[in-house]
Structure 1
Amino acid sequence: MGYGVEMGRPPAVVAVAMEAVFGSRGRCGSSSHHRRVFCSANVLLFALALCAVTAAAAATAVGDTSSAVGKLINTRIDRRIDLSTQFVKLYVTAKMENEGSAEVSEILLALPNQQAERLAYRTVKIGGNDGGGAALPVSAVVPAISGVDPALSKGITFFAVSLPSPLKSGGSLTLEIHCVFTRLLEPYPAEISQQDPQLVLYHDNHYFLSVYPTKTQVTKVSLFSPGVESYTKEEPTRKRDNEITYGFYHNTQPLAISPMRIHYENLAKFAVISNLVREMEVSPWGSVTVKEDYVIYNGGAKHKGTFSRLDYQLRPGASGAASFRRLFATLPPRAFDVYYRDEIGNISSSLLRGDSKKTELEVEPRFPMLGGWKVAFTIGYKLPLEDCVSVSKEDGRRVLTMPFGTPFEDAYVEDLTVEVALPEGAADMEPVVPAALQGAAGGGGGGDVSVFLSVKHAMLDITGRPVIVLKKTNVVAEHNVAFQVKYNFAAISMLRKPLLLISAVGAFFLACMVYARADFTISKSSPAYVARKQREEVIDAVQKVRAVLKSRVGLTRYLEASLKELTRKGEEGVAECKAVRAPVEEKLKETAKSIKSLVDRLESSGGRSIGLVAKVKDIIAKEKELQTQAVQKHVAMVEGYERKLAPREIDQRVEKIQQRLTALMTEVRDLLQALDE
């Protein structure tokens, strides 16, 4: 990586680059161990250096980069390279000074194409007391060199950093640069057995690649462990435990090249998520549902040979040391209804714990993840709506705020898709993507975020739910920042589904009513239609007979009630009791006529063929005898009280009548139940 372009002496820079590759310090076959490199690597590095110089000289012909032209120097470079994980994390503190007479408003950064293509995240800030903490805008530029083939400048990618205020002549500033690269560590050997440790190769430059001269620089490389197979040296070089220090180097020329090669042991998790689809569904009824579909593989050295689970269990530190058995996901603090499953079903080998700040989910696949092995699973959970959705004070729109990247911090995503399904009826949708998620244009590194709009149909939806789709490649933990989706949603829209459900249920019952009452028969002279009509008439007549008989039984009970009142009052209640019998007898005569007409209707409707008429007549006869006995009992008791007989004598007179009356009541009740059946 480098900064800016010094336009003073391009030929001298070329000479320095050539001497670095082919001169006495780096020539093939040199006796110095730390200068010994492969000839093919020398040729490649020379090509990269030449392309970088070519691109640097091209800035004289490009007006857009004229503000970066000036006599800038790096007074001090502190570079730290973290190789302790599967990522290459670069931290650079660059103190720069403008020794020219003109102001500089832009500074150029440079990366070899190999690193630029694998750049996942990048941020540039002004450090020291002048730094405000905000990332500076970074944009990709393609300088051209006047009079030289532009194809030679393809070896290096340049980025222009816009300063918040021009750097005046004699002024200085400090830049803080943080970069994260993926797939820069090469497993070597590429395949290992279950018992072998994992070794990786890392290639870089001993010097900080800069198009400005550097007065003083130092590089510290942090490794996974002290286990190092080999590493190149550029004196002064020191190794202590798991850290290698290169430098201090003084008065380094622009684009100075000295190949760095480190072959070391790295047993970190090389968890790579080849595809991740995050589905977020916003419900206006109180929750946000999140579903994440993962396809993960071990991107380290591929496993060769057989696998012994017994050996893996007995010697976890030595057998399959390059594999990983579990992953840790950091979820929002109030996540609930968390699940972890795959195509087979729920996976019980998981652990959930949390506090007020976070919820941690420990995920363990069904089998250990050795090099090249792949697994697919799904994680889901819900969040309270008030934790995710707020109302904007500016325009009154609702604002959904959610994390963008993966909750697994030790893994990166090759292809990420985020789908945000808003409630049906949402309008004026606007996704707000932070600059840290953008690529070269936004300064975030990696690819840009692509935004799409689609529609999703779910249960009881009419027009469908609007879906905001965000896509990005090469996503690391630094991209797990909050993004927002602004939208309008009327509260009345919440009644869509309840009203639709009520309307559907009402329409269903209405259809049932119409169906039960409508006649869909095509021919009314067919035997089936005639039989059905006769059956309906018989059922209707039987139901009416049953109703009349029940009303007559009710009259019997009414007479019994009047007798109980007579027993209580004695002679004083005789007149009142006699008055009750007359209307009852009149009512019995009327209902007897109704019963006769209903029996005639049954006979004409085909009731005789199914034996109903005989049953109905039997019930009518029993019920008529019941009414006769009830009236006789009533007459006998009233006469007994009129003649002033003793209660015991009255009971003796009606005892036989009462026995027959009770038996008839039981028979009539049973016959009515049989008629219902």
Structure 2
Amino acid sequence: MKVQVLMENTGTNSINSFHIAIESKMHEMLSFIDANVKTDASNKHPLMPRRVSISDNRDKSFYRLQLRDNVAPSGTVAVEIEMVFVNALRPYPAQINQLDKQLVIYDGSPYFFSPYNTIKQITTVTLASSNVESYSKVKPVSLSGSTITYGPYRNTPAFDGTSVTIHYENNSPFLSVVSLERVIEVSHWGNIAVEEKIHIKHVGAALKGSFSRFDFQRGQSYENIPAVKSFKTVLPASAKDVYYRDEIGNISTSHMLQLEDSVELDIRPRFPLFGGWQTHYTLGYNVPSFQYLYSNGNSYLLQMRLIDHIFDNCVIENIKLRIILPEGAKNIIFKAPYQVERDADGLHFTYLDVVGRPVISIHKSKLVEHHIQDFNLRYDFSQILLLREPLLVVVIKDEANEARQKVAGILEEIQCLQENRESLYESFSSAISKYKAQKNSNAFGSARKKFDLDYKKIYADVTVFLEKLGTEKAESTITQQIQEIQTKEMERKHLLDQTASLTEQIVVGKIDREKYIDNLQSNMAKRSKLAEEIAILNSNL
């Protein structure tokens, strides 16, 4: 919620502060509040909202904003206020079928809830779609596309609690981070390790009935399905050694893109997330310490983000942050960019530690993207303590270990080829859908030829690596699993070729629609089963 207010001092004395009021039910959902004074068209002066209590209105919540300059009698000041509320939308109906549209209800007010009388005001509500089922009509009011305009209203009294309800279509995936456990481990040997254990839940309208993979794959191109297939996590530009896994193991279907100012990780859970569904995973990476750790003699300053960008419009219900400092760190001072709860300090023991490493722990609830800010952690550390732990360099000729490393490298190459094969399937499936819609046989013929050539190359490359595994005397179970993957992949390709042939027949009219749909459903069910079996084999490698 963004509010632009022009305030006038109608008293006889100068003022240097004012208050913001929030209804109690709304304050329970408040996650972030910020304010600025507009000095001119391009310059702003930040204000620091501070929670206060007013005895005559204990049923309301108040924030006091201290102005930099006094406002003389009859003077004015322009203020911009931004507030972010979480869980302010509720799905209605609470349960929907897999291909149904998602409708939500917003309960709010056409007025800015103010402790002062308001001479004139206009409220604009921007919705996620233009499909509005119903909305409260507190006149004057108008609806244009996806925008509802309430007002202008004149001479609104203080604390006017008039409410409105808006029922509209919103197919945005309502993802929420139920819990986030973030650990930052600082090393004075040049590295900072970050690991996050994340529990995500789709808090939108719950899926009613059973899940149909056929309906989901058929409707992937539709924008009105509020299911989550993937989302983008943004990491620091210097992030390296990134890993993403769950309880089963490494999830290889995700992709990482290195940009100039960040690392973009495309997170793909093992299954799509519908309303009420949830997933757990672990994400970790390393960053060089020189970018975040500053020193002056034996004094150090750690400056890092309290949270990362997990996904767009992220809501984190609960976070617990643990910062592990080097053994011997003392005089620790932690400063958060906003109010947090600090837990009791602890100790963390790892290899060769004697007294343990200091651990700073904090927790907070209801965080949003506005909370992606840096914390400051100051401490003292004597560099002579680096000599406490001996540096052991051992060079041993271990042929068995070398063989294991070679096998691991070959398996990694095979995993990459499997990812390429998955991308190949997706690309050709898109070409089939495009051919069915546009009926361009030349373009489809070229796409089919390219698919066959690329597939043969991947199959041949995997066969070469399979022979290398035999040379390195890999375990027989590993080679058997890869051979089984190759066999199942051939079956999968054959089924996809059948889908292409079916599509050609329906396009030229050689098959009726009912028979086409029956054959396609059977084909997709077989492909889906094969894909699941191949995924299990891959995870066991």
Question: Is the CA contact 1:405–1:476 (under 8 Å) kept in the aligned structure 2?
Answer: no
Q: Which residue in 2 is equivalent to 1:219?
A: 123
Give the Cα separation in 2 of the matches to 1:295 and 1:253.
45
C-alpha distance in 2 between matches for 1:405 and 1:167: 38
Contact 1:405 1:475 in 2 (8 A): no
More strand by share: 2
Does residue 479 of the first structure (1) align with residue 371 of the second (2)? yes
Residue deviations 1:189-210 (CA, integer Å, cap 9, x gap)? 1111112111111111112222
Paired residue for 2:13? 102
CA contact (8 A) 2:38 2:45 kept: no
Matches within 5 A, 1:516-595: none
User: SS state of the match for residue 255, structure 2?
Assistant: strand
Structure 1 SS opposite 2:160: coil
> How far 1:317 sits from its partner (Å)?
4.4
Q: Report the TM-score when normalising by structure 2.
A: 0.69
Deviation per CA, 1:263-286, whole angstroms, max 9, x where unpaired?
011111211111101111111111
Instruction: Tell me the CA shift for residue 352 of structure 1.
Output: 0.4
**Which residue, out of 409, 415, 435, partners 2:318?**
415
Structure 1 length as normaliser, TM-score?
A: 0.56
RMSD: 1.9
| CA distance 1:154–1:191, shift in 2 (3 Å) | farther
Change beyond 3 A, Cα 1:361–1:264: same
Q: Secondary structure at the match of 1:411?
A: coil
Distance 1:342 1:318 in 2: 29
Is 1:334 the counterpart of 2:238? The answer is yes
Question: Who is 2:265 aligned against?
Answer: 361
What letter is aligned with 1:460? Answer: L
SS in 1 for 2:389: helix
Q: Specify the SS of the correspondent of 2:148.
A: strand
Q: Given residue 128 of structure 1, which amino acid in structure 2 is its aligned partner?
A: T
Between the aligned partners of 2:223 and 2:272, the Cα distance in structure 1 is: 11
1:187 matches 2:87: no
| 1:242, distance to aligned residue in structure 2 (A) | 1.2
1:345 aligned to which of 249, 253, 257? 249
Helix, strand or coil: the match of 1:461? Answer: coil
Offset at residue 106 of structure 1 (A): 2.4
Do residues 112 (structure 1) and 23 (structure 2) align? yes
291, 302, 305: which one aligns with 1:403? 305
1:169 deviates by: 1.2
Question: 1:123, 1:177 within 8 Å by CA — same for their partners in 2?
Answer: yes
Distance (whole Å) between structure 2 residues aligned to residue 163 and residue 277 of structure 1: 38
Shift of 1:385: 1.2
1:296 to 153, 178, 200: 200
- In the TM superposition, what whole-angstrom CA distance separates every residue of 1:59-110 from its partner, at most 9, and x where no partner exists? xxxxxxxxxxxxxxxxxxxxxxxxxxxxxxx000100000110222321211
1:119 Cα deviation after fit: 0.4
CA distance, structure 2, for counterparts of residue 154 and residue 128 of structure 1: 33
Q: 1:482 to 1:220 in 2, by over 3 A?
A: same
**Tell me, which stretches of 5 or more residues in structure 2 are unaligned?**
394-541
Structure 2 counterpart of 1:139, which letter? R
**Identity between Structure 1 and Structure 2 (%):** 34
Instruction: Summarize deviations over 1:261-319 as a string: whole Å, max 9, x none.
Output: 10011111211111101111111111101000001100111111110011101112459
Task: Identify the structure with the greater helix proportion.
Answer: 1
**d(CA) in 2 for partners of 1:425 and 1:348?**
39
**1:428 and 2:337 are equivalent in the alignment:** no
Q: Which has the larger radius of gyration?
A: 1
Q: Secondary structure at the match of 1:183?
A: coil
Give me the whole-angstrom Cα distance separating, in 1, the residues matched to 2:53 and 2:42.
28
C-alpha contact (below 8 Å) 2:33/2:49 kept by paired residues: no
Deviations 1:332-370 (A, max 9, x none): 001100010001100011110022211111101011111
Q: Tell whether 2:100 aligns with 1:168.
A: no
Mind listing any 5+ residue stretches in structure 1 that lack a counterpart? Answer: 1-89, 146-152, 439-447, 503-677
The 5 Å alignment of 1:33-112 reads: 90-112=1-23
Work out the CA distance in 2 between the residues paired with 1:418 and 1:264.
Answer: 37
Separation (CA, whole Å) in 1 of partners of 2:157 and 2:358: 57
Residue 461 of structure 1 pairs with residue 325 of structure 2: no
Q: Tell me, yes or no, if structure 1 residue 249 matches structure 2 residue 141.
A: no
Distance 2:373 2:334 in 1: 14
Change (3 A) 1:263 1:454: same
| CA spacing shift, 1:397–1:410, aligned 2, 3 Å | same
Shift in alpha-carbon separation, 1:396–1:105, aligned structure 2, 3 A: farther
Corresponding letter in the other structure for 1:331 = L
What residue in structure 1 maps to residue 49 of structure 2? 138
Change (3 A) 1:195 1:285: same
